[in-house]
Amino acid sequence: MSSARSDANRSQSLKQAALSKLEEFDRAGYDRDRTAKAIRSKIDEYRGSGLSDAEVIAKLAALRPPKKKQAEQRERSDGAASPRPAPPSTARSKAGKRKTKSGSTSKSKFVLLGGGVLVLGLLATGGVIAATLSSGDAAPSVANNNEDVPTDSAGSAVATLESEGVGPVEPVSSEVSDSSTAGSSRPVAGLTNSPADGSSTILASNSPSGVNLADAGLASNPNDVAKARQILSKFCVDCHGPDAQEGDLRIDNLSVRFDQREAAAAWIEIRDRMNLGEMPPEGSDKPEVHEVEFLSGWIAEELRRAERAALSRGGKVVLRRMSRQEYTNTIRDLLHMKFTPGNSPMDFLPPDGTAEGFDKLSLALMVDPSLLATYYEVAGRVADNAIVEGPPDFPTETLRMEFEEIAENRAINYLCRRPSFDCREVDIIVMEGSTRSFARLKYPDTNKSIATDGFYRVTVRAAADPGASSEPVVMRVSQGHPDDSKQEIMELRVTNPPTDYQDYTVVLPRDTLGGEWNVSIKNGTGFTSYSPINQQIQEATEAESSDRLSKKKDFNAVLRADSRMILEGAVTFRGRPAFGPEKIPELRKLYLDYIEIEGPLYDQWPPKSHEELFFKGESATEDIAYVREMFTRFLPRAWRRPVAAEEINPIVVIVEQELKNGLAFTEAVEVGIAAVLTSPNFIYIAEPNSNPSQRDLNNFEIANRLSYFLWSSMPDDELFDLAENGRLSDRDVLTAQIDRMLADPKIEGLVEGFAAQWLRTDTFRNFTPDKYKYKSYNPKLGEAMVEEPLAFFREILANDLSTLNFIDSDFTMANERLAKHYGIEGVSGEKFRKVSLSADSMRGGLLAMAGVAMAGADGDRTKPVSRGVYVREVLFNDPPDPPPPNAGEIEPNIKGKNLTVRERLLQHQEIESCAACHRTLDPYGLALENFNVIGDWRDNQDGEGFRGNNAPPIVVESKLPNGEHFSSFEQFRDLLLKQDDRFRRGLTEKMLIYALGRPVEPTDNGTIENIVAQMRSENSTFRSLIKGIVTSEQFLKK
């Protein structure tokens, strides 16, 4: 028997022993998932001490459930496990089945191969078979055909119990709450050695990792423990001591091991009852406020210590799968693909979980059988698009749209009702000044099918005449679309005169096209009200509601280029003179020649993905030797490391089997590609390490860490070349690569991955503002609010500006829509650009952005507490403690009892259990009260019954926890700038979590301080922060 096969057998034996032990504890009534984590932790401990697999198996066999827990067994009728459901269907994309050459059909199936390769391939025979992640040296194994998959029994347990580098670590909440003790009859199983006889027993514990608090640098401060016991002894021991244990609670000997479930639950009970004033009871001496604050804060901190210990991996980065964003970006770069909205892999994968605010941690990135099925479905879609046969199903075509008759409007007599189909034959003018007319277009009648995916080029050939205005004509092209965000197609300045028509082009995804099209002048003069003096005008406009007319700003007429405007009557604008034909030269005019749509567009055909896979071209011999060459080239890039010949064999075998089953050559290769993209080697970012001590990353692992940190995608060719030549371990080479990667367009992965999650832009539109109170808000403005902080991040990153600009800056990023909202002039168009702010501007920095104001509001009123939480979490990585039970909300105003937000907060602080926390939190939120629900600056209270200048003034005066006073938003920002090191540290912690995919641990403190010092000396740039992280020991070691 070969050495590899012997190792595989030993590994399988160890798994079987672990599963047997899991079943034993399961029958004894222990929580199955947490017991699995505990067993896994114990296996890690045994292996870490140098025991062989045989010795580990013997140790596992000696573990026994403690007798005192037997009474907590679950009742079972016969001890048998309940039936397990079968996995969901894994039908391929398109029709879900594919015809073979012989006419038979093939169905999706799971297949488990050796070498850790999980393949879900198309097999000619029917039925679904089970699959679980196998270890890197596992022997090939395939479950029986047509059997139900045990989705939550042995299969998932194996993945849970596998050692690092093999399977994912499922998260276990380490925060103990009342519900954890009252709502569950099953204890949490943790493993520890009994000091009495050295044998292993089960103890109630909340630390699945087995990391000791002291070892993790998280031991309690003895002085704090003594102070806490002194307070409890003074006020609580009479009722909860050796002589009396009311409520079955004894405090005098209560353990301070917060990593033990029963002790932690008791301390939480003590904290909550003291905060609520229920303990000590009425008639007893009560502790002073400062004593309650100390005890509550100490318990909260000890719970955090225990949680960090439970999550700790000793500073090691653990195996994790790619997030949805990373998976999509990797597919994009691996196969040179472009995705339209709604048709990318991200759109078909379920949302990722988050931990520590990011979707990068293994704790949040679970894998279960249903997700594996989804991965295979997505991989099938990708393979279908990467590999093609023959010409495209939808060749590129150009569609010319014709102008429809204008809606009834008898104010104007149109000399030309409908131009011919070819719009080039008749010019069209869109002119401001009419009551409500614009160019309206529709697709030409056609019986041809139009592709549902792809990109299309929209071209408008136009010219303009600004008339008497000094402002250029802005053309807006929109369409009737059920999705408001997709109604606007383009908005462009048209500056060329009618003697020089020019093309204006935009490329859009297919799903944004459809419906009736409109062309109008955006910056038309318009009017706010009108007085019809002609019956024809009245008939033309009576169908429109007065409300809609009062809001309409752009009114345009459509005429032939060689026609003149003929008014049947006159329209009198209030505050403006009536206009007639003599006014036409003064009006802005937009001349349209034609509009056409070309698509779907192809960069090349066959696509680059097909061309690179079938690198020998059409004349190649379609045999297995060619297949082997294909995957010998493809696998190292897909799995992002060197690949041995024996790892290629299973993929080749799959393709060969599909050819025997009758699939065409390209279709069989598709199955192989889907197998590669569903393998753990692709899905997981793995850095195997069987040694418990740290080791240096190899060059390919450095390349992967670096690229998934900065690009959220796979390494490019240059990184692969440097890794292959062993040069990434050179510090100078590494820092040069950072500079190169920061300048690459793929750095958008850092914006979408880190910046969006750090700045919590997903919370900016949790609530829709009240449309009656905040009439200027619309979905497009909401989109601009979300984009502003991301554009701000890009600007600071790209130009090496100080990150302290997030606290205060003399610029912001805005497009025309957002600039108008802020009252900033001189900005036009939808593109975001850097906008300098005046010295007296209230804008500048993150906290003055409208999106942040929206995040701290509920659509009707501002919520200073939410805003305060945002400031502390985002700027300083200093989230407040969770509120005590029954803390409640800050009550909204009710009729007859109008109070300002500040008054209601002060009222809330009168609740004793709330006062301490709110004193350290409210000032950060009250400082932002000048910004209303949608981020408009206000000097007086608005909303909730307050209106006009008679409303109470906004008062932001407050005191920060360090004792510094401020009386305005400007002073508040100045005080935050004085806490620049606190900001640098918080930002460093956040980015370190993101880069490493694990929580910050006490052992990271020295590195964090070094990076903060480096940032301080280098203008606090993102570049200095990123280089400090990448060159740190934490980043370069496993």
β-pairing, 517-521 with 556-560? unpaired
38 burial via Cβ count (<10 Å: 0-12, 13-18, 19+): buried
Same domain? For 511 and 408 the reply is: yes
Residue 696: its pLDDT value, please? 87
Considering only residues 920 and 535, tell me which one the structure prediction assigns the higher pLDDT: 920
State the chain's mean pLDDT as an integer.
70
Same domain? For 189 and 325 the reply is: no
Residue 859: its pLDDT value, please? 80
Contact 475, 492 (CB under 8 A): yes
Most confident of 497-506, 617-626, 890-899, 906-915: 617-626
Q: Select from 544, 574, 596 the last residue of a domain.
A: 596
Contact 670, 362 (CB under 8 A): no
Same domain? For 178 and 124 the reply is: no
Same domain? For 457 and 534 the reply is: yes
Domain that holds residue 837: 756-978
- pLDDT range class, residue 617, cuts 50, 70, 90: confident
**Tokens 């009342």 sit at which residue?**
178
Question: Is residue 479 pLDDT above 60, yes or no?
Answer: yes
C-alpha torsion 929→930→933→936, nearest 10: -170
Question: Is residue 290 pLDDT above 50, yes or no?
Answer: yes
Produce one character per residue of 976-1002: b if its CB has 16 or more CB atoms within 10 Å, e if not: beebbeebbbbbbbbbbbbbbbbbbbe
Same domain? For 850 and 912 the reply is: yes
Question: Is residue 910 pLDDT above 70, yes or no?
Answer: no
Residue 513: its pLDDT value, please? 58
- Helical residues (DSSP H) of 482-587, grouped into ranges: 535-541, 546-551
Q: What is the pLDDT of residues 840-898, one digit of tens each?
A: 899 999 999 999 999 988 887 888 889 999 999 999 999 887 766 555 555 554 444 56
Question: Is residue 985 pLDDT above 50, yes or no?
Answer: yes
Query: Which of the residue ranges 352-366, 702-716, 837-851 would you say has the lowest mean pLDDT?
Result: 352-366
Tell me whether residue 742 is in a domain.
no
Residue 43: its pLDDT value, please? 82
Q: Select from 581, 596, 611 the last residue of a domain.
A: 596
**Cα–Cα distance for residue pair 42/54, rounded to 1 Å:** 14
Same domain? For 778 and 794 the reply is: yes
Tell me whether residue 227 is in a domain.
yes
Question: Is residue 572 pLDDT above 50, yes or no?
Answer: no
Residue 412: its pLDDT value, please? 28
Question: Is residue 718 pLDDT above 60, yes or no?
Answer: yes
Coil, strand or helix at 850 = helix
Same domain? For 578 and 618 the reply is: no
Contact 544, 529 (CB under 8 A): no
Specify the DSSP class assigned to residue 754: I
- pLDDT range class, residue 275, cuts 50, 70, 90: confident
Tell me whether residue 747 is in a domain.
no
Considering only residues 1012 and 43, tell me which one the structure prediction assigns the higher pLDDT: 1012
Contact 788, 850 (CB under 8 A): yes
Same domain? For 181 and 325 the reply is: no
Specify the DSSP class assigned to residue 763: G
918 burial via Cβ count (<10 Å: 0-12, 13-18, 19+): buried
**What are the angstrom distances between the C-alpha of 419 and each of 166, 415, 986?**
68, 11, 64
Q: Can you give the length of the chain in residues? A: 1038
Q: Select from 672, 693, 714 the last residue of a domain.
A: 693
Percent of the chain past pLDDT 90, that is, above it, reads: 31
In this prediction, residues 158-178 reach a mean pLDDT of 32
Q: What is the pLDDT of residues 667-700, one digit of tens each?
A: 999 999 999 999 999 999 988 766 666 788 999 9
- Helical residues (DSSP H) of 614-664, grouped into ranges: 624-639, 645-660
Percent of the chain past pLDDT 70, that is, above it, reads: 61
Same domain? For 342 and 423 the reply is: no
Same domain? For 554 and 580 the reply is: yes
Q: What is the pLDDT of residues 82-101, one digit of tens each?
A: 333 333 333 333 333 343 33
**Cα–Cα distance for residue pair 679/1037, rounded to 1 Å:** 25
Count the domains in the chain. Answer: 6
- pLDDT range class, residue 199, cuts 50, 70, 90: very low
In this prediction, residues 974-986 reach a mean pLDDT of 95
Considering only residues 171 and 976, tell me which one the structure prediction assigns the higher pLDDT: 976
- Helical residues (DSSP H) of 689-773, grouped into ranges: 699-710, 717-724, 731-742, 748-750, 756-758
**Cα–Cα distance for residue pair 422/425, rounded to 1 Å:** 6
Produce one character per residue of 644-662: b if its CB has 16 or more CB atoms within 10 Å, e if not: eeebbbbbbbbbbbbbebb
Tell me whether residue 653 is in a domain.
yes
Q: What is the pLDDT of residues 735-744, one digit of tens each?
A: 999 999 999 9
Contact 71, 27 (CB under 8 A): no
Coil, strand or helix at 244 = coil
Both tokens assigned to 444:
């030409």
Q: What is the pLDDT of residues 728-780, one digit of tens each?
A: 999 999 999 999 999 999 999 999 999 999 999 999 988 888 888 888 898 88
Considering only residues 555 and 591, tell me which one the structure prediction assigns the higher pLDDT: 591
Beta bridge partners of residue 3, listed in sequence order: none
**Cα–Cα distance for residue pair 403/595, rounded to 1 Å:** 10
Same domain? For 616 and 495 the reply is: no
Coil, strand or helix at 981 = helix
Tell me whether residue 168 is in a domain.
no
Tell me whether residue 377 is in a domain.
yes
Question: Is residue 400 pLDDT above 80, yes or no?
Answer: no
Tell me whether residue 732 is in a domain.
no
Considering only residues 904 and 137, tell me which one the structure prediction assigns the higher pLDDT: 904
Tell me whether residue 54 is in a domain.
yes
Amino acid in position 762? D
Same domain? For 943 and 806 the reply is: yes
Coil, strand or helix at 687 = coil
**Cα–Cα distance for residue pair 880/219, rounded to 1 Å:** 21
Residue 192: in which H helix or E strand, if any?
Answer: strand 189-193
Considering only residues 460 and 1012, tell me which one the structure prediction assigns the higher pLDDT: 1012
Q: How many helices (H) and strands (E) does the chain have?
A: 35, 26
